[in-house]
């Protein structure tokens, strides 16, 4: 009889053996995908999706091992790998020249797969020529929150309806110079503390205004500048086939400023991350 717990333990042992053999920087795994353990192997980075996961990490590690907080997006196996990689890179727990082992499986289920990845240029998000490191102009927490909201919209839409969205984060003065309002700015006149996306109360507001045509422009500190903005910069050359105006705007504005853009496709919910005119990551939600 197939025993998923036994498979998971064998995979974990294999990951440790392989990590030692190839000199892997880390083993990354969602804590909810682990069977019951008394301890986790050295160099393991655990990922938490909610408070229950965080409590389990504290029990397993006594707070002595690094871990990452990831959005609870329902992604397939490779989507989870990419999400864990991009969050770990943004937290500087792994680097672009590292080899990393990922253990993954169906969303919220025990691991059944092992992936070895030499990150290299695949995750150039934080190593793009003439671009500052993320913490220099965009708080990591702001990057994570914008990505989390985008993934939520891609998975669930807005009140059950599919929506497209575009969030532009960082270098807001240059971005505003290359944009124009299509509607009255719904955030104008509010105190900066009331319109910061790091405030949990802003999450639903951000999702509500994401349905407007145009982009939501956000400072690197998390303060929302405006919604319903048309980006004048567009870049269609080199875009993957089938991507439309929203994605061309994301490519164009990131090519002309130091911002990062998150686009949500209305057709299939795929979330794409853009920097320096390039799509540097994409996440396609699984469908129930």
CATH value of 134-283 in 3.30.70.580, 2.40.110.10, 3.40.50.1820, 3.40.1700.10: 3.40.1700.10
Reported pTM: 0.85
* DSSP structural state of residue 196: B
Answer with the residue of higher pLDDT: 70 or 129: 70
Q: Is the predicted pLDDT of residue 102 greater than 90, yes or no?
A: yes
Query: Which pLDDT score, from 0 to 100, does residue 135 have?
Result: 58
- Residue 220's nearest CA partner among 166, 123, 131, 146 is 146
Q: Average the pLDDT over 77-84 and give the result.
A: 91
Count of residues in the chain: 288
- What confidence tens digit (pLDDT) does each residue in 206-253 have? 999 988 889 999 999 999 999 999 998 776 666 676 678 888 999 999
Alpha-carbon gap, residue 99 to 91, rounded angstroms: 16
> Which residues of the chain form CATH 3.40.1380.20?
4-126
- What confidence tens digit (pLDDT) does each residue in 153-198 have? 998 888 778 889 999 999 999 999 999 999 999 999 999 999 999 9
Query: Which pLDDT score, from 0 to 100, does residue 242 have?
Result: 67
- What confidence tens digit (pLDDT) does each residue in 267-277 have? 888 999 998 88
Q: Average the pLDDT over 114-123 and give the result.
A: 76
**Are 270 and 257 contacting, i.e. CB atoms less than 8 angstroms apart?**
no
Q: Cα 171 from chain centroid?
A: 19
Q: Is the predicted pLDDT of residue 98 greater than 80, yes or no?
A: yes
Architecture of domain 4-126: 3-Layer(aba) Sandwich (3.40)
> Which residues of the chain form CATH 3.40.1700.10?
134-283
Query: Which pLDDT score, from 0 to 100, does residue 12 have?
Result: 92
Give how far Cα 95 sits from Cα of 76, 99, 123, 145, 198, Å.
Answer: 24, 9, 9, 21, 26
Q: Is the predicted pLDDT of residue 129 greater than 50, yes or no?
A: no
Alpha-carbon gap, residue 44 to 64, rounded angstroms: 11
Q: Average the pLDDT over 38-44 and give the result.
A: 86
**Are 68 and 84 contacting, i.e. CB atoms less than 8 angstroms apart?**
yes
């Amino acid at each position: 009889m197939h025993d998923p717990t036994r498979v998971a333990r064998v995979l974990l042992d294999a990951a440790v053996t392989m990590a030692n053999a190839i000199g892997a920087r880390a083993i990354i795994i969602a804590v909810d995908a682990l069977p019951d353990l008394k301890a986790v192997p050295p160099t393991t980075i655990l990922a938490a999706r909610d408070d229950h996961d965080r409590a389990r990490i504290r029990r397993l590690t006594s707070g002595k091992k690094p871990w990452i907080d990831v959005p609870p997006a329902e992604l397939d196996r490779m989507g989870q790998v990419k999400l864990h990689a991009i969050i770990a890179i943004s937290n500087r727990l792994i680097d672009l020249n590292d080899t990393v082992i990922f253990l993954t499986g169906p969303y919220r289920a025990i691991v059944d797969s092992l992936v070895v990845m030499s990150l290299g240029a695949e995750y150039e998000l934080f190593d793009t020529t003439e671009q500052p490191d993320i913490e220099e102009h965009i708080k990591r927490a702001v990057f994570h929150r914008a990505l989390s909201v985008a993934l939520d919209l891609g998975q669930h839409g807005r009140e059950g309806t599919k929506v497209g969205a575009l969030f532009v984060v960082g270098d807001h003065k240059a971005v505003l110079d290359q944009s124009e309002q299509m509607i009255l700015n719904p955030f104008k006149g509010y105190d900066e503390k009331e319109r910061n996306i790091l405030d949990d109360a802003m999450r639903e507001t951000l999702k509500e205004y994401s349905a407007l045509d145009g982009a939501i422009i956000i400072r690197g500190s998390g303060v929302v500048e405006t919604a319903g903005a048309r980006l004048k910069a567009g870049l269609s050359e080199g875009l993957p086939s089938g991507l439309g105006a929203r994605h061309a705007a994301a490519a164009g504005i990131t090519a002309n400023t130091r911002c990062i853009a998150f686009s949500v496709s209305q057709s299939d919910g795929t979330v794409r991350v853009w920097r320096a005119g390039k799509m540097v990551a994409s996440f396609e939600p699984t469908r129930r």
